[in-house]
Structure 1
Amino acid sequence: MKKLGLFLALAFVSFSLQANVPQNAHIRITGEGSINAEPDQVTFQLLVRAEKDTALAAKQTVDQRVNALLAELETFNIAERDVIAAQLLTQSRFEYGREGQRELAGYEASRSISVTLRELPRMSAFMDYALSVGIEEIQSIQMEVRDHAELEMAALNLAIEAAKIQGHAIAEQFGTQLGSVYSVDVSSGSTRGQYGGVERVLVSGSRMQDSVGQYLQENMEIKAVVHVVFNLE
């Protein structure tokens, strides 16, 4: 009974795969296209956090640091639309005493902020400033391109053209002609090169060291892949 069930399952899978291609003569082609681009903006994910004896004191400390950061964003030509500040969160902190009892140790407040900087040469200066006003952590640095959608379309056009060229060449080698398109499956994505050349940025309390980090722009490759089934004439 189990063997029969397995046979029926395999038969169904085989039928499903065959249903995705025409019954007449056809050819399946994969075309790839890619565009190399240099990033022209960067998005930082920042974390502000404070621990105090009361929830109010922790919140006020976080508010002060966030306000100090926001007050100078115009200096870096950062528009309001390029800043996303999450809601402030507060929570109790507990510690365990020598006898294992749970004791209230204070309160923690935190807030996440996303900031997009459109002037890459000022990237290091912005991080220095953010840390100097009490930003606890730079959680991530995401290099981006503004016209990503246009570059994706350009990569897709290259992939389509590559599929057509391959299809015509293979059909000609077999003495036939490429016909109409039966089906198309498209996938796209971005890959990034190594993000390197970084000197450590040291923080002591809320003061930055005099050393300034140097950051090399990473290369971005925007890729598109098309899987095409052509009819043959």
Structure 2
Amino acid sequence: MIFNLLYKELRLAAHPNLFIFALMGVLVLVPGYPYGIVFLFSGLGIYISFMYGRETQDIYYTTLLPVRKRETVKAKCWLIVLAQMGQIGISLPFAVLRNTLISQRNPVGIEPNVAFYGMGLLIFGVFNLIFLPTFFKTAYKAGKAFVLAMIPTTLIVITVEILVHFPAFHWVDSIAAADLIRQLPILAIGGIFYSFATVAAYRISVKRFEKVDL
């Protein structure tokens, strides 16, 4: 059943901007660009998609189907996870290409390295943990959920982009092999946090959505 619902999400509920913003991962090729913003584009795409679903009454339509409310939430969660993982997957080859062909360091902030993707997973996890439960509290207020989720995620991006300019955190900004290995714990922490945060967001959203009278 969940695969059918996810198929419905991809074909009917997802706004084209969700996929367009997932393609923003190619921006890691742009010299002198604050690459952390790439992950914020994902949140914008998710917001537009949920707002589009609100205007087309997608949530109401889905609940009319022979499915439980928790399955409606699960399908939305999987849509978000696919969009976020898709953006990372799309950006990876371009990050490798950038670090291979462009020797000049990024003067703005962090390089697209292992720590960068750890930061991305952290941003995605924070976004999901705030956006999903806030939205499913009413299954309507996508704008409020987006604003509340973007405040801490934007602060994370700003903090990291500034932090790497300090000499003590040079290794976080490095693409040297030894430093990339040193950055692996950041990636692991980001991945673990993302997994737990997304699962927690799903469970909280289910509890809240069960109380919503559509």
- Shorter-chain TM-score bucket reads under 0.3
TM-score, normalised with respect to structure 1: 0.25
Bigger proportion of residues as strand:
1
